[in-house]
C-alpha cells in the first residue's frame, strides 16, 4: 500500500564489506507454518555503529537478533556475523563465534538456579578463569550497572529492571565487540529506562561497541541518537545542534516482513512516509 | 497446485504428515540419545553438574527406593509362603525372594521411582528453561546445552540407578528375611544362605545390567520431552 519514499540501503555483500560490517542480513526470510514473519530483510551494521530496530509487536525483531547469533536458521538468505555466514555453520562452530557477541534477551533469560555472581560470571567460568579473577570482574561490571549489592542474590529476588541490568552485565562482562539488546527498556519506568539508556550509550561511546538494539520506546532511541557519554561527569550529555560530534546511530523500521526505513535520525524526522510519520509521532 | 488446494480444504491430519511427525521425533530422540553418550568423550565436561545431579537423583530417591523394595520383598515372602506351605516347601522362600528381587523387581522398582521422581522433574525443568529462553541464553553464551544439561543428567541417572538398585536389592532381601523369620518362624541363617546360594552369575549380571539401560532411557526421555517443549528453537539444532 505505502511504497517506501526513502531509498533503503541496498546491502552489498562482497568480502571486503563483510570485514567492515559486523552484521549483514542478505535477503533473509523466515516463516512459521502459515505465518510468514520476515519476507526478505536486508541491512548492514557497520563496525562501531548502533542500529535501533522498530516494528509493531510480532514483526520479527527478536527473531532478527536470534538469527544473527545462529540460534535460529532462516528459511532463505544469508546472515554474516563478524564476517562469517552463520546460516551455513554447524552448531559446534557457532559457539566460538557467539562468545564474541553479547546478547540481552527480551525477558532477561537469567539462569534461575544460579546466583547473580554466577550468572554474570558465566562466560568467564566457561573460559576457565580463576575464581578470584571472576569475583573481581563480576564486581567491576556490577558496579558499572550499579547493582553491586545483589551479587549473592538469586534472579527471583530481583525486580524486572534489576534483572534487565544484570542481563546487560552478563552480556558485557567479556567486553564483546558487538552487542544485541532486545527491548532493554521494555515495560520499565522512565527513570530506570534512562539509567539503562545511559548504560548503552556509555557502552557505545566508551568501549566503541557496535550494537543492534530492539526497542518499543522511540524516545529512548532518540535520546541515544542525540546524546553522547561524557566520561568526566559519568553521565550522558546532549550533543550540541550542528556540533562536530557525530553520533553513530541509525534507525531501521520493519513492516509486514519488510524493511521500510533504514537511515539516520535526520532522514527519519523529515520523512514523508505516512506510516513512519504516524509511527514516530 | 490444484492438488494442494484440494487437500488444504480438508480438516484432518494426513497420514503421511502424521507419520512424518512421528519419524521426526524418533530421529530427534535418537540424536539426543547418541549425543548424550558421545559428549562423554568430548571437552568440556561438566563434572560439577554431574555431581549435583547425582546428589539430586541418588540421595533424593534413596529413602523411597529402599522403602518400596523392602516392602515388596516382604510381600513377596508373605504371598509365596501361603502357597509354598501347602507343599511343605517354605524353605525355598529365600530362593524365591532373591531371584525375584535381584533379577526383576529391584531394578524395575528403582527405575520406576527414578522415572516418576526425576525424569518428570527433568522434563519440567528443561521445559521451563526453554520457555524462559534460558536454553537460548546458554547457547548464546557459548555453552552447548547437550553437554551442560543432558549429558550430566544421563550420566548421573545411569550411575545412581545402578547403586540404588544394589541397595534396593539388599533391602528387598531384608524385607523377605524379616517376614520369613518373624511371621513364618524360619531360621534367618537358612533364609540368607538359601537366598545367596541360588543366585548364579547370570542373575546378578542381568539384574545389574537392567538399571544401566533403564537409567539411560529414563534420563534421555525426560530430557527429550523437556527440550522438545513447544516454542523451543531446539529442534532446529542439528
Ligand atoms: N519458535 C517460534 N515458533 C513459532 N512462531 C514463532 C516462534 N518465534 C517467533 N514466532 C512468531 O514470529 C513472530 C515474530 O516474533 P518476534 O518474537 O520476533 O516478535 P517481536 O518483533 O520481537 O515482537 P515484540 O515486540 O512483541 O517482542 C510472531 O508472530 C511469533 O508468533
Ligand atoms: Mg521481541
User: What is the value of ipTM here, to two decimals?
Assistant: 0.85
**Residue A2 in this model has a pLDDT that exceeds 50:** no
B9 touches chain A (CB under 8 A): no
A76 and A136, same domain (yes or no): no
Closest by Cα among B28, B11, B95 to B238: B28
A72 and A118, same domain (yes or no): no
Å between B152 CA and nearest CA of chain A: 16
- For residue A215 and ligand 1, the question of a CB distance below 6 A is answered with no
A162 and A215, same domain (yes or no): no
**Domain annotation covers residue A36:** yes
pTM of the model: 0.86
Lowest mean pLDDT among A137-151, A233-247, B137-151: A233-247
Confidence of residue A10 (pLDDT cuts 50, 70, 90): very low
Q: pLDDT tens across B150-166, in order?
A: 999 999 999 999 999 99
**Domain annotation covers residue A184:** no
Residue A29, exposed/middle/buried by CB under 10 A (0-12, 13-18, 19+)?
A: middle
- Cα–Cα distance measured from residue A216 to residue A238, given in angstroms and rounded to the nearest whole number: 22
Lowest mean pLDDT among A86-100, A178-192, B47-61: A178-192
A83 and A214, same domain (yes or no): yes
Residue A9: per-residue pLDDT: 47
**Domain annotation covers residue A181:** no
- Cα–Cα distance measured from residue A146 to residue B36, given in angstroms and rounded to the nearest whole number: 40
- Cα–Cα distance measured from residue A244 to residue B109, given in angstroms and rounded to the nearest whole number: 76
A209 and A272, same domain (yes or no): yes
Write out the residue range of the structural domain in which residue A111 sits. Answer: 101-175
> H/E element holding B94?
helix B93-99
**Domain annotation covers residue A9:** yes
A152 and A214, same domain (yes or no): no
A35 and A168, same domain (yes or no): no
Q: pLDDT tens across A49-81, in order?
A: 999 999 988 899 999 999 999 999 999 999 999
CA angle A137, A117, A206 (to 5 degrees): 40
Q: Give the highest mean pLDDT range of A41-50, B76-85, B224-233.
A: A41-50
A131 touches chain B (CB under 8 A): no
A136 and A1, same domain (yes or no): no
Residue A33: per-residue pLDDT: 83
- Cα–Cα distance measured from residue A133 to residue A147, given in angstroms and rounded to the nearest whole number: 18
Q: pLDDT tens across A102-124, in order?
A: 999 998 899 999 999 999 999 99
Q: Which of A118, A140, A175 is the last residue of a domain?
A: A175
B236 touches chain A (CB under 8 A): yes
Cβ(B192)–Cβ(B177) under 8 Å?
yes
**Domain annotation covers residue A182:** no
Residue B44: per-residue pLDDT: 86
A10 and A42, same domain (yes or no): yes
Question: What is the number of structural domains in chain A?
Answer: 2
**Residue A231 in this model has a pLDDT that exceeds 60:** yes
A207 and A274, same domain (yes or no): yes
Confidence of residue B27 (pLDDT cuts 50, 70, 90): very high
**Domain annotation covers residue A188:** no
A77 and A120, same domain (yes or no): no
CA quadruple A160, A162, A163, A165: dihedral positive or negative? positive
**Domain annotation covers residue A141:** yes
Confidence of residue B91 (pLDDT cuts 50, 70, 90): confident
**Residue A228 in this model has a pLDDT that exceeds 50:** yes
- Supply the CATH number for residue A47's domain: 3.40.50.300
Residue B224: per-residue pLDDT: 94
Cβ(A22)–Cβ(A178) under 8 Å?
yes
DSSP string, A98-125: HTTEEEEBTTB---TTS-HHHHHTHHHH
- For residue A200 and ligand 1, the question of a CB distance below 6 A is answered with no
| Atom in ligand 1 nearest the alpha carbon of residue B231 | 1
Measured in Å, residue B82 CA sits from the centre of ligand 1 at: 66
- For residue B27, what are the contacts with CB-CB under 8 A and spacing of at least 6? none
The pLDDT of A111-140, averaged and rounded, is 93
- For residue A32 and ligand 1, the question of a CB distance below 6 A is answered with yes
**Residue A177 in this model has a pLDDT that exceeds 80:** yes
Residue B9: per-residue pLDDT: 53
Residue B86: per-residue pLDDT: 85
Residue B238: per-residue pLDDT: 39
**Ligand 2 ion: residues within 5 Å (CB):** A 62, 106
Amino acid at each position: 500500500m505505502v511504497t517506501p519514499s526513502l531509498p533503503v540501503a541496498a546491502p552489498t555483500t562482497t568480502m571486503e564489506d563483510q570485514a567492515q560490517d559486523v552484521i549483514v542480513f542478505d535477503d533473509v526470510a523466515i516463516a512459521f507454518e502459515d505465518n510468514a514473519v520476515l519476507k526478505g530483510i536486508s541491512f548492514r551494521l557497520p563496525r562501531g555503529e548502533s542500529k535501533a530496530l522498530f516494528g509493531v509487536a510480532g514483526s520479527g525483531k527478536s527473531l532478527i537478533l536470534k538469527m544473527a547469533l545462529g540460534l535460529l536458521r532462516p528459511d532463505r538468505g544469508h546472515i554474516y556475523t563478524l564476517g562469517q555466514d552463520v546460516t551455513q555453520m554447524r552448531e559446534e562452530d557457532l559457539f566460538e563465534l557467539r562468545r564474541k557477541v553479547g546478547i540481552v534477551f527480551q525477558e532477561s533469560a537469567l539462569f534461575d538456579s544460579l546466583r547473580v555472581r554466577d550468572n554474570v560470571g558465566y562466560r568467564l567460568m566457561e573460559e576457565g578463569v580463576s575464581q578470584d579473577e571472576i569475583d573481581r570482574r563480576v564486581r567491576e561490571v556490577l558496579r558499572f550497572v550499579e547493582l553491586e549489592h545483589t551479587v549473592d542474590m538469586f534472579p527471583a529476588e530481583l525486580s524486572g529492571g534489576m534483572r534487565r541490568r544484570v542481563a546487560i552485565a552478563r552480556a558485557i562482562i567479556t567486553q564483546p565487540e558487538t552487542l544485541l539488546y532486545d527491548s532493554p527498556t521494555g515495560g520499565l519506568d522512565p527513570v530506570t529506562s534512562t539509567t539503562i539508556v545511559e548504560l548503552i550509550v556509555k557502552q557505545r561511546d566508551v568501549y566503541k561497541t557496535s550494537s543492534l538494539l530492539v526497542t518499543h520506546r522511540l524516545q529512548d532511541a532518540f535520546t541515544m541518537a542525540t546524546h553522547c557519554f561524557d566520561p568526566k561527569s559519568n553521565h550522558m550529555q546532549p550533543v550540541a545542534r550542528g556540533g562536530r560530534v557525530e553520533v553513530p546511530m541509525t534507525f531501521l523500521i520493519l513492516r509486514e516482513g519488510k524493511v521500510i526505513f533504514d537511515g539516520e535520525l535526520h532522514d527519519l524526522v523529515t520523512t514523508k512516509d505516512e506510516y513512519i510519520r504516524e509511527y514516530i509521532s | 497446485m490444484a492438488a494442494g488446494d484440494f487437500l488444504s480444504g480438508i480438516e484432518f491430519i494426513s497420514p503421511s504428515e502424521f507419520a512424518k511427525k512421528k519419524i521426526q521425533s524418533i530421529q530427534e530422540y535418537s540424536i539426543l540419545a547418541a549425543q548424550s553418550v558421545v559428549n562423554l568423550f568430548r571437552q568440556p565436561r561438566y563434572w560439577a553438574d554431574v555431581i549435583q545431579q547425582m546428589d539430586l537423583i541418588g540421595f533424593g530417591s534413596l529413602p523411597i527406593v529402599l522403602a518400596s523394595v523392602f516392602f515388596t520383598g516382604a510381600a513377596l515372602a508373605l504371598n509365596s509362603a501361603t502357597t509354598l506351605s501347602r507343599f511343605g516347601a517354605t524353605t525355598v522362600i529365600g530362593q524365591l525372594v532373591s531371584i525375584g528381587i535381584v533379577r526383576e523387581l529391584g531394578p524395575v522398582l528403582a527405575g520406576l521411582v527414578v522415572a516418576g521422581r526425576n525424569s518428570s522433574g527433568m522434563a519440567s525443568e528443561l521445559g521451563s528453561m526453554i520457555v524462559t529462553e534460558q536454553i537460548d541464553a546458554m547457547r548464546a553464551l557459548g555453552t552447548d546445552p547437550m553437554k551442560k544439561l543432558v549429558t550430566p543428567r544421563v550420566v548421573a541417572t545411569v550411575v545412581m540407578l545402578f547403586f540404588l538398585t544394589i541397595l534396593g536389592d539388599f533391602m528387598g532381601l531384608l524385607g523377605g528375611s524379616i517376614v520369613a523369620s518373624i511371621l513364618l518362624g524360619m531360621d534367618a541363617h537358612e533364609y540368607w544362605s538359601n537366598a545367596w546360594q541360588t543366585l548364579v552369575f547370570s542373575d546378578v549380571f542381568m539384574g545389574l545390567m537392567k538399571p544401566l539401560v533403564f537409567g539411560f532411557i529414563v534420563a534421555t526421555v525426560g530430557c527429550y520431552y523437556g527440550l522438545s517443549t513447544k516454542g523451543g528453537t531446539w529442534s532446529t539444532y542439528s
